[in-house]
Amino acid sequence: MTLSFEARVADRGFDLSFDVAPGETVAVLGPNGAGKSTLLNLVAGLVRPDAGRATLDGEVLFDTAAGAFAAPHIRGISMLAQDALLFPHLSVLENVAFGPRSAGVRASVARSAARDWLAEVDALDLAERRPAQLSGGQAQRIAVARALASEPRLLLLDEPMAALDVSVAPAIRRTLRRVLEDRAAIVVTHDILDAFTLADRVLVLDAGGIVDEGATREVLERPRIRFTAGLAGLNLLTGVRTAEGLLTDGVELRGAAVEAVAIGAPAAASVRPSAVQVSLLPPPDPAGNRLRGIVRDLEPRGDLVRVRAEGLSADVTPARAAELDLASGTPVWFAFPAAALSVYGG
């Protein structure tokens, strides 16, 4: 299975192209309105592009120049949405058998295939239930089985864990990791854990275009643009490689190179907000990494408060934030150990 895709949708400002290689799982990341769902709907055939061409294994999905458009049901592409959307009038077994039966398989054969897929997602005991009798996690598990039972050439997942309780998401994620192992899939998500767990490669979308892409770890652990760093929850510092670390804005920071970069070459470095300390007075150790900043805003995040300044963020305890009397406009010092700064090519 190889997908090659290129499309433009004018009124949504959507214009991008990408490929999916056989067996590859691609995660699509980006903020709301970036065009993630439009991308999936275009691939599935639920939205028509204004211009573009896409092929799956050489078969044309759409080609506006030639006026070709394949209907969704003949594409061999199934979609798993945020909500399970199990057909409420059919039993769990009939829901899973729906794909094979639509392909013309005899009812008894389709049901036995459905049982196999239910077993695959550990839900065989739910076969006779009605969708209304299932929990959200169970329903999504069945939806996975139903999507796989139609034996799609390409599987689309639209934030499959977003509507689930945090308590059941890990089990579904594990199931997905297993079934996606050797399947071609596109996963839209806003959770980078999904990207790390499921995807070989990520596309980062913003405003209808691709702003970053590459192997998952490469892109998310060594972000090269501010936008991706934000998604990955990292601080990004850019500058020039020095023997000790990185020279950024006239300040030399010491860090550990995670990738060979020639001294003097453009480089980037990342540091987790949780590794950054905040103080009002200059940190006592002048040899340590320290940067000045002015607090822009404070955002409570669970049991920590994220202190954001231009270009750098730090996570501190609420007690610490109160002790320092932090507010928008407060001048502060940020400090972090050399070991927390990863330096790589920019």
Note the residues at the interface with other proteins (CB under 8 A). 44-46, 71-79, 81, 83, 85, 87-90, 98-99, 102-103, 146-147, 150, 152, 156
Cα–Cα dist 273/345, whole Å: 21
**Nearest residue (CB) to other proteins, 30 versus 152:** 152
Report in angstroms how near the CB of residue 166 gets to other proteins at its nearest: 19
CA angle 27, 32, 37 (to 5 degrees): 55
Cα–Cα dist 137/171, whole Å: 9
Residue 170 one-letter amino acid: P
**Nearest residue (CB) to other proteins, 36 versus 75:** 75
As given in the structure block, the two tokens for residue 78 are: 């199934």
**Nearest residue (CB) to other proteins, 41 versus 235:** 41
Residue whose tokens read 């399947």:
183
First-to-final CA distance of the chain: 33
Report in angstroms how near the CB of residue 146 gets to other proteins at its nearest: 7
Q: Among candidates 205, 239, 209, which has minimal Cα distance to 224?
A: 239
Identify whether the C-beta of residue 278 lies closer than 8 Å to the C-beta of residue 295. Answer: no
As given in the structure block, the two tokens for residue 286 are: 């002048």
Report in angstroms how near the CB of residue 250 gets to other proteins at its nearest: 55
Report in angstroms how near the CB of residue 64 gets to other proteins at its nearest: 19
Report in angstroms how near the CB of residue 88 gets to other proteins at its nearest: 7
**Nearest residue (CB) to other proteins, 85 versus 257:** 85
Identify whether the C-beta of residue 5 lies closer than 8 Å to the C-beta of residue 48. Answer: no
Report in angstroms how near the CB of residue 2 gets to other proteins at its nearest: 19
Counting DSSP H helices and E strands in the chain, the numbers are 9, 22
Report in angstroms how near the CB of residue 45 gets to other proteins at its nearest: 8
**Nearest residue (CB) to other proteins, 81 versus 269:** 81
Cα–Cα dist 222/38, whole Å: 28
**Nearest residue (CB) to other proteins, 152 versus 273:** 152
**Nearest residue (CB) to other proteins, 115 versus 320:** 115
Identify whether the C-beta of residue 345 lies closer than 8 Å to the C-beta of residue 265. Answer: yes
Positive/negative CA dihedral, 257, 260, 261, 262? positive
Report in angstroms how near the CB of residue 6 gets to other proteins at its nearest: 21
**Nearest residue (CB) to other proteins, 47 versus 324:** 47
Identify whether the C-beta of residue 2 lies closer than 8 Å to the C-beta of residue 25. Answer: no
